[in-house]
Amino acid sequence: MKLFKIEAGTFQVDGGAAFGVVPKRVWQKRYPCNDENFCRFTMRCLLIDTGQKRILIDTGCGDKQLDYLKYYDFEDVVAFENELNKLGYSCADITDVIYTHLHFDHCGGSTYFNSDKTKIELTFPNATHYVGEAQWNNFLKPNLREGDSYFKENMMPIYDAGKLKLITENQNICSEVELRLFGGHTVGQLVTYIQYGGKTVVYVGDVIPISACLPIAWISAYDTYPITAMAEKSELLNEAVEKQQILVFEHDAHTECCTVKEIYGKFRVDETFLLNKINVEN
């Protein structure tokens, strides 16, 4: 098995929104911001090559809505064909796409406008696309908090092509890759557990968007169900400590991966490293 990160671009998030009720004088010691109080977040996607499957987790924002979303100051948004070519793959090689959830910064790269902008095409035409069923229903009929985060053109062409698979319970899509359902940030999130070289690598998505948010109470103002978000995070972190799992952060511009320790009931970063360090050790 091989693991590769694909940095799909970056964007700016208001620090107050990113850290919710945590005061700036506290959070800015753990995550930097600019003079306007904005924090730079990544859109770090993960490619898993099992030998039989080539699985991509999340697809960044894509370029279809960049003008509409200019408030977020997106930078370095990639074309997946180019990025996959650098790794020896093509978009047609991807067999499966897993979505943590369907907010625009996680699924926008799944479709694109053709050259004359008259039709939307699938970026990964041969892939099965996995979404939590509760998340899909929320996408179709969003609540007031999340309506502006969903764009029909990101996902409806996949549904229309018959390439969408809805997940209603925890399950493996192959022997090495398990999908588990989590709530909190939004309903029906998928967290991917990967068995790799005797280790468990966990792509945590927005259950824990950045390493600074490991403390249970450090949740963002974007989390639709705060109490659930804290409970689900606690469950994930307890297992991560017990089994020394490696967490991969989607949005952290400064920390790609870490293990976690618990000190007097509080979760903290243990060891940090780059994703390719995991590859070197296996």
CATH value at residue 27: 3.60.15.10
Task: From first to last of the 282 residues of the chain, give the pLDDT tens digit.
Answer: 999 999 999 999 999 999 999 999 999 999 999 999 999 999 999 999 999 999 999 999 999 999 999 999 999 999 999 999 999 999 999 999 999 999 999 999 999 998 787 899 999 999 999 999 999 999 999 998 899 999 999 999 999 999 999 999 999 999 999 999 999 999 999 999 999 988 999 999 999 999 999 999 999 999 999 999 999 999 999 999 999 999 999 999 999 999 999 999 899 999 999 988 775 444
Segments forming the whole domain that contains residue 137: 2-281
How many domains does the chain contain in total?
1
pTM exceeding the 0.85 threshold for the entire prediction: yes
CA 171 to the chain's CA centroid:
18
* C-alpha dist (Å) from residue 168 to 127, 188, 190, 209: 19, 8, 10, 23
Among 101, 94, 78, smallest CA distance to 191 is for 101
